[in-house]
Structure 1
């Protein structure tokens, strides 16, 4: 069965329609401004919460360290979600339809401006799931509840950087330095190696898991 990542590429200005229902179709389009409005306050809230809830006698230095840990965890999540969920190889027609709705549409029409960032109908349940996972690991299992807020803040702001970077690689010049590298790297994922180069904000995990070509 052909995967959605290898469908012919459509560069027209008219978005491919996914649902006959106008109500459902509405939720498949989103502006990056909406993502900023939703998630920037969330990320900052948990960072402020971490600062205000600093345990007595604890050094504040753990907050930026755990924030960086959250960013690091996001880079791994970005890679694994992109590789194993968004590029899942469907085994039947139903799975193929789901994969196309989640990510195949983006490869079929990569320049569609309203389908470059994650819609809230997907991002909110994902964020809630990751928050629950962090509470389980760091608060319940490890007994370190004050770790959750700074880690989740870094994780959410890492996600935000991912969505903004992804939009930028498709619609901004990014003509120098690391940004130029990221744009070229992601365009190669679309037009040259759709089954490699899964990192968007960083190629680190592609290097670790051997999905970064030598060229």
Structure 2
């Protein structure tokens, strides 16, 4: 990781990396909701994925190839959602003291303390709200096909969370996946306004935000 760490003029002070962990809420219960075990996304979302695939196949009688195509499309669409959320929601530019506090709670805390192991995957209390919103968007726009599209989208999210945890928690592998480590750690230690893709750098190339 040393190749990525160094004072960068591109990093504002409120996003500059530090060691340790932050306290967001003085209330113990609220504070506990901001910390998540890395296995939580698997425990919470794999049963949901299983239910939707089962419902698509045995309740809606969708063809296997249709389910597979919709599932893959859902997983691919997550990569775009991931990029847009990370760039425009997690990294909105605060204009006031309240804005800085909100940005810190949403994502700034992760940039200040990128090695905090309990804040490397999204808390279920937050991700479930986002998942429900996406579900209704897909249900409204795709009808019954949303039942096969949505689980793929969720699997894309799971891959994102697991990839993010691995990048911050483990040394980069000695294969082509090493690029994901380099890409994301440059986002933290070189320029937080670029390299927004985590599970895939595709949309950074499309929108010109690679480093």
* TM-score in same-fold range (> 0.5): yes
Which residue is 2:5 aligned to?
Answer: none
For residues 18 and 210 of structure 2, the distance between their equivalents in structure 1, rounded to whole angstroms, comes to: 26
Residue 176, structure 1, aligned to residue 174, structure 2: yes
For residues 167 and 5 of structure 1, the distance between their equivalents in structure 2, rounded to whole angstroms, comes to: 24
1:18-74: per-residue Cα shift (whole Å, max 9, x none)? 11111211111111112211011111221122121344xx64211110001101110
Q: Please give the secondary structure, in 1, of the residue aligned with 2:140.
A: helix
Q: How far has the Cα of 1:172 moved from its partner?
A: 1.4
Q: How far has the Cα of 1:6 moved from its partner?
A: 4.7
Of the three residues 79, 82, 93, the one matched with 1:78 is: 82
Of the three residues 41, 46, 51, the one matched with 1:45 is: 51
For residues 174 and 3 of structure 1, the distance between their equivalents in structure 2, rounded to whole angstroms, comes to: 23
For residues 90 and 178 of structure 1, the distance between their equivalents in structure 2, rounded to whole angstroms, comes to: 36
For residues 51 and 97 of structure 1, the distance between their equivalents in structure 2, rounded to whole angstroms, comes to: 45
For residues 15 and 122 of structure 2, the distance between their equivalents in structure 1, rounded to whole angstroms, comes to: 21
Which residue is 2:136 aligned to?
Answer: 132
For residues 192 and 6 of structure 1, the distance between their equivalents in structure 2, rounded to whole angstroms, comes to: 14
Residues 97-116 of structure 1 correspond to what in structure 2 (within 5 A)? Answer: 97-116=101-120
Of the three residues 193, 207, 210, the one matched with 1:209 is: 207
1:206–1:179 Cα change, 3 Å: same
1:4–1:103 Cα change, 3 Å: farther
Of the three residues 53, 61, 67, the one matched with 2:71 is: 67
Residue 8, structure 1, aligned to residue 16, structure 2: yes
For residues 155 and 210 of structure 2, the distance between their equivalents in structure 1, rounded to whole angstroms, comes to: 25
Which residue is 1:142 aligned to?
Answer: none
Which residue is 1:195 aligned to?
Answer: 193
Q: Please give the secondary structure, in 1, of the residue aligned with 2:135.
A: helix
**Which structure 1 segments of 5+ residues have no match?**
140-144
Q: TM-score, normalization: structure 1? A: 0.89
Aligned pair count?
Answer: 202
Residue 91, structure 1, aligned to residue 95, structure 2: yes
For residues 47 and 175 of structure 2, the distance between their equivalents in structure 1, rounded to whole angstroms, comes to: 29
**Which structure 2 segments of 5+ residues have no match?**
1-9
1:138–1:125 Cα change, 3 Å: same
Of the three residues 151, 166, 173, the one matched with 2:149 is: 151
Q: TM-score, normalization: structure 2? A: 0.90
Choose between structure 1 and 2 for higher RCO, CA contacts under 8 A separated by at least 6 residues. Answer: 2
